[in-house]
Amino acid sequence: MEEGSEPHPPNAEAVEQPPPVPMDQDEGREAAAAAAAEPMEDGEAAAAADASEAADPMEDGEAAGDSTAAAEPMEDDAPTSSPTPSAPSATAAVDDSTIARKRRRRKKQFPGMIPTTGVRVLRGSSYSSAQTAAHLTGVPRRRGRPPTSSSLRLARELDSEALIALAAGFPADSLSEDEIAAAVLPRIGGAEQANYLVVRNHIVALWRSNPISPVAANAALTSIRAEHAPLVAAAHSFLSEHAYINFGLAPAVLWLPPRPPPSFPAPSVLIVGAGFAGLGAARHLIALGFKVAIVEGRLRPGGRVFTKTMRSSAAEYPNTVAAADLGGSVLTGINGNPLGVIARQLGFPLHKVRDKCPLYLPDGRPVDPDMDARVEAAFNQLLDKVCQLRQVIADGVPHGVDLSLGMALEAFRAAHGVAAEHEERMLLDWHLANLEYANAAPLADLSMAFWDQDDPYEMGGDHCFIPGGNSQFIHALADGIPIFYGQNVRRIQYGCDGVAVHTDKQSFRGDMVLCTVPLGVLKKGDITFMPELPAQKKEAIQRLGFGLLNKVVMLFPYDFWDGRIDTFGHLTEDSGQRGEFFLFYSYSSVSGGPLLIALVAGESAVKFEQASPMENVEKVLETLRKIFSPKGIEVPNPLQAICTRWGTDRFTYGSYSYVAIGASGDDYDILAESVHDRVFFAGEATNRRYPATMHGALLSGYREAANILRAARRRAKKGDSPEKMNINVEVKVDVNGEVKDNVKDVNIDLDDLFHSPDASFGGFSVLHDPCTSEPDSISLLRVGIGARKLGSGSLFLYGLIMRKNVAVLAAIEGDEQRLSTMYRDFGTKLVGLDSLGDTGDSLISRIKAAAARK
């Protein structure tokens, strides 16, 4: 989803057909011909212009829309309608002989799985809703008498607005962490906070009721007493800066003038990656007065969200065309979803994913409904047992212990004799495969303790497709944003004098950088950070998992399956292959043509990439023929087929994140932390509440835009605004899109700086990194060699040493012993000044830049 596009995508292989199906990777050729058509990002293929990262890389998590996720009432963010006139009705009746079931939930929820800390009670403050309503609006309240009908109506409105704010991500009865950090109130608690919450919720509700028109601060004052104008101003400013209101692509929103920048000249921000996170951040930063440029490795925007137009080359079907989302495709939960807001602004209709999902045995027979209900109940009970086990462990083990979710489920299955019969076991395997699809990982790799840590925040409402493909969102968001394509980022340097992003073609320089590359790229280490990222962040990157989901996308001459359903499932004989083509998505209703997609999850997703595209397509067709041939239905060869390969895509190395054994939700927060207010991180893997989703990526971009604004304000208050910093790195983008580097050399002699070192002992002297005081930060060490003493023309050698180790050396008696300890215990080697490498050069540049400001 983040860094970009290349002419021949390694992750997708296309097949054109007349039969037999020659897999000729035309996807790569098309991408070379058109910069907008490129590899397929995180795997979900739907031709619905859905704004949610849902099925493949960035799969909001369910395999089809579940309408029971979370009881969060919400306004209709976008109209639900049947898409094209030629497609079957989205609300067409389904054969009553098929049992309706909600199988596509990202994760099953059970009472024992919902932490009580995620559940809040409305009206928990000292004011009741009726009292607060009367106080804020001026409605008189007579003592000793029951509330009037008007005050009760206002109380109901307050509760409704609180639920809308809750769906948008706010606590129901307290300030959010961001509100506390932004100091929206001088004091926390009391009547003023209760009043502020009512005002905040009211403004959010006003915006969500009509996101076509921006909400002005004075609009809220029409229903709130004038004495509370300061609360309205504080709430409106916070909500605007954090993109809770007045965001998106409505014309009236785009016409809003940008805010004054936090300092002059306006700070510049480089964004690595043009996915949902990068594009969302770029748009919001521009609205906040920043200069922005996006550096993208691919030749198109979107990252793991990519809509491929599939066309027939067969003479007998010349007009067969369909739009397929090869990456995220399902909008998982409309309530509170910012992509639902943008869909409404752009006039995109929503197709509710229907709940009916018939299952078929390997020989094509439908699964017995009674057995289906029995095994599904047993599967849910197994998850209940796991929840009870982890609660026992949490209560009984002081520091906790983590196990594999798959191991725990299998232990309980064996202990309770669940699915002892062969057909029952195949059906249970299907449910397990569905769970692996939701998490993009084999169950053996999932944390038993925290695999579902984001469940309490799951957005409610229908799961939807958007006809036409999710790239409609991407292209609308990218319109007018300066994006430099084909720039494969190799190194990000940062310091107190700014940042530099080095690609394999050129360098870009600015005040701050926002890195939105997928977690898979960070885990692979393809981008070097100088200085290195903090140890805590590097450990979180390694702990979190980055999983894999693949698809086979097939355009057929006609719809031979039941277009009145959106999904159907297939059971396998071999438990080891339970994720292979276990679920099929029908996109006939939304793609514009007869499109069918087979999902590959768990261990099967890895094996899938080891087989040829031709082999994979033939296996899918064999599976389909086993299902439909017994019904007398002929399965034709596809006109075109595409096999995704997200695991080998060098811009993703996988699909979306999951909580691996030993990881927790805290790791998402650690990954989101900025480094020295210079390097910021966004993307689905930085969003603890909404990981593995498209809306989670977009929200993370908005979040970091607000964080960058705060950082710029802090720097301006310290007198470190760009014009005062002698910044020797700055990006300038002219109207023609050309990058001009304005590099100012700092002419300071390093020997002069060592005349007043930060530490000195014996023949050793040290200069610390001026941008940080972290114990693990790197310092520059100089040692005088030989009988001549420091400062009298000695031969000097240099090394890099951690700041915390400097004090250790200073406490040692004698330079020889210091040298021995330095080599043996710290691994520091002494070299010439020109041999310190990129890390040393970067440190010296920061030291000189800091000295120039004094």
Which is nearest to 778 in space by CA: 757, 753, 804?
804
Residue 764 vs residue 563, higher pLDDT: 764
Omega prior to 531 cis, within 30 of 0:
yes
pLDDT reported for residue 136: 57
* Region 774-784 average pLDDT: 89
Q: How confident is the model at residue 823 (pLDDT cuts 50, 70, 90)?
A: confident
- Phi and psi at 6, nearest 5°, equal -135, 160
Examine the pLDDT at 627 and tell me if it is beyond 60: yes
- Check pLDDT > 70 for residue 830: yes
Q: In what order do the strands lie in the sheet with 528-530?
A: 507-510, 498-503, 489-495, 528-530
Residue with tokens 């920043």, as numbered in its chain = 290
175: confidence class by pLDDT, cuts 50, 70, 90: very high
Could you tell me the pLDDT band of residue 119, with boundaries at 50, 70 and 90?
A: very low
Chain centroid to CA 457? 14
pLDDT-above-70 percentage for the chain? 77
Distance between CA atoms of residues 443 and 461, nearest Å: 27
Mean of pLDDT values over 786-810: 73
Band of residue 68 on the pLDDT scale cut at 50, 70, 90: very low
For the record, the structure tokens of 45 come out as: 């293929």
Q: Which residue has the tokens 């396998």?
A: 572
Where helices occur in 629-693 by DSSP H, the ranges are 665-672
Beta bridge partners of 465: 351
Residue 789 pLDDT greater than 50, yes or no = no
From the centroid of its chain, how far is CA 812? 49
Which string of DSSP letters, residue by residue, matches 549-615? -EEEEEE-SS--S-TT-SEEEE--S-GGGTTEEEEEEE-HHHHSS-EEEEEE-THHHHHHTTS-HHH
Q: How far apart are CA 439 and CA 691, in angstroms?
A: 10
Query: Using one digit for the tens of pLDDT, what is the confidence trace for 723-762?
Result: 333 334 344 443 334 444 443 444 678 888 888 899 999 9
pLDDT value at residue 146 = 57
How many angstroms separate the CA atoms of 437 and 598, rounded?
12
Coil/strand/helix, residue 740 = strand
pLDDT of residue 196: 95
174 Cβ neighbours under 8 A, 6+ residues apart: 120, 124, 193, 197
Residue 170 pLDDT greater than 60, yes or no? yes
Distance CA 270, CA 250 (A): 25
Q: Quick check: 135 pLDDT over 70? A: no
pLDDT of residue 155: 78
Give the tens place of pLDDT for each residue, 650-685: 999 999 999 999 999 999 999 999 999 999 999 999
Quickly tell me which residue has 């409404």 as its tokens: 344
Strongest mean pLDDT among 218-222, 247-251, 786-790: 247-251
Q: Read out DSSP for 172-238?
A: SSS--HHHHHTT-SSSSSHHHHHHHHHHHHHHHHHHHH-TTSPPPHHHHGGGS-GGGHHHHHHHHHH
Asked if residue 739 lies in contact with residue 508, where contact means CB atoms within 8 angstroms, the answer is yes
Q: How far apart are CA 720 and CA 495, in angstroms?
A: 13
pLDDT given for residue 82 in this prediction? 35
State the pLDDT at residue 287: 96
Q: Please work out, in degrees rounded to the nearest 5, the angle formed at the alpha carbon of residue 399 by the alpha carbons of 398 and 401.
A: 110
Signed CA dihedral, 373, 374, 379, 384: sign only:
positive
Of 113, 100, 105, give the one whose Cα is nearest residue 59. Answer: 105
Residue 354's nearest CA partner among 553, 93, 546 is 93
Q: Find out whether 82 and 122 touch, Cβ atoms under 8 Å.
A: no
What gap in Å lies between CA 666 and CA 659, rounded to an integer?
A: 10
pLDDT tens column, 350-368:
999 998 999 999 999 999 9
Question: 473-488 as b/e, with b when 16 or more CB fall inside 10 Å?
Answer: bbbbbbeebbbbbbbb
The residue behind tokens 């700086």 is: 753
Interatomic CA distance for residues 365 and 311, integer angstroms:
33
Residue corresponding to tokens 């941008």:
771
Q: Locate 294 and state its tokens.
A: 């996006």
> For 832-846, what is each residue's pLDDT tens digit?
887 787 778 878 888
Structure token digits, residue 851: 């000295």
> Which domains, and CATH codes, for the chain?
149-246 (1.10.10.10), 268-310+474-545+655-716 (3.50.50.60), 354-458+549-644 (3.90.660.10), 750-852 (no CATH)
- Averaged over 143-150, what is the pLDDT? 58
- Confidence band, pLDDT 50/70/90 cuts, at residue 854: low
Q: Distances from the Cα of 462 to the Cαs of 79, 337, 358, 455, 465, in angstroms?
A: 12, 11, 20, 16, 10
Q: pLDDT tier at 498 (50, 70, 90 boundaries)?
A: very high
23 CB-contact burial (10 Å; exposed 0-12 / middle 13-18 / buried 19+) = buried
**pLDDT for position 53:** 34
Q: Measured at the alpha carbon of residue 624, what is the angle toward residues 620 and 627, in degrees to the nearest 5?
A: 145
Residue 147 binned pLDDT confidence (cut-offs 50, 70, 90): low
Measured distance CA(439)–CA(452) in Å, rounded: 9
CA–CA dist 661, 641 (Å, integer): 36
- Kindly state the average pLDDT of the residues 189-199: 93
pLDDT in tens, 505-542: 999 999 999 999 999 999 999 999 999 999 999 999 99
Q: What is the DSSP string of 314-379?
A: -TTSTT-EEEEESS---EE--TT-HHHHHHHHHT--BEEPP-B--EE-TTSPBPPHHHHHHHHHHH
> In this predicted structure, what is the pLDDT of residue 145?
52
Higher model confidence: residue 613 or residue 835? Answer: 613
Residue 223: predicted pLDDT: 84
719 vs 504, which has greater pLDDT? 504
Are 113 and 580 in contact, with CB atoms under 8 Å apart?
no
Alpha-carbon distance 112 to 456, whole Å?
Answer: 12
Mean pLDDT for all residues in the chain: 81
Q: Where are the alpha helices (DSSP H) in 72-209?
A: 129-137, 149-167, 177-181, 190-209
Comparing 287-301, 526-540, 590-604, 759-773, which segment has the lowest mean pLDDT? 759-773
HSE-up (13 A, CA, CB side) for residue 60: 30
Buried residues in 542-557 as b, exposed as e (16+ CB within 10 A) = ebbbbbbbbbbbbbbb
Mean pLDDT of 807-820: 90
- For tokens 């470190």, the residue is 720
Residue 482: how many CA atoms within 13 Å on its side-chain side? Answer: 20
Radius of gyration of the chain, Cα coordinates, nearest whole angstrom: 29
Residue 690: predicted pLDDT = 97
- Which tens digit of pLDDT belongs to each residue from 680-707? 999 999 999 999 999 999 999 999 999 9
Residue of 650, 649, 641, 633 whose CA lies nearest to 612: 641
Long-range contacts: 87-92, Cβ < 8 Å, 24+? 87/563, 87/588, 87/589, 87/590, 87/592, 88/559, 88/563, 88/564, 88/588, 88/589, 89/589, 90/351, 90/352, 90/354, 90/589, 90/590, 91/352, 92/563, 92/564
Over the stretch 569-590, which tens digit does the pLDDT of each residue have?
A: 999 999 999 999 999 999 998 9
Bridge pairing between strands 640-644 and 268-272: unpaired
What integer pLDDT is reported at residue 152 of this predicted model?
77
Instruction: Report whether 769 contacts 847 (CB < 8 A).
Output: yes
Q: What span, in angstroms and rounded, lies between the C-alpha atoms of 256 and 240?
A: 12
* Pair 442, 548: CB distance under 8 Å: no
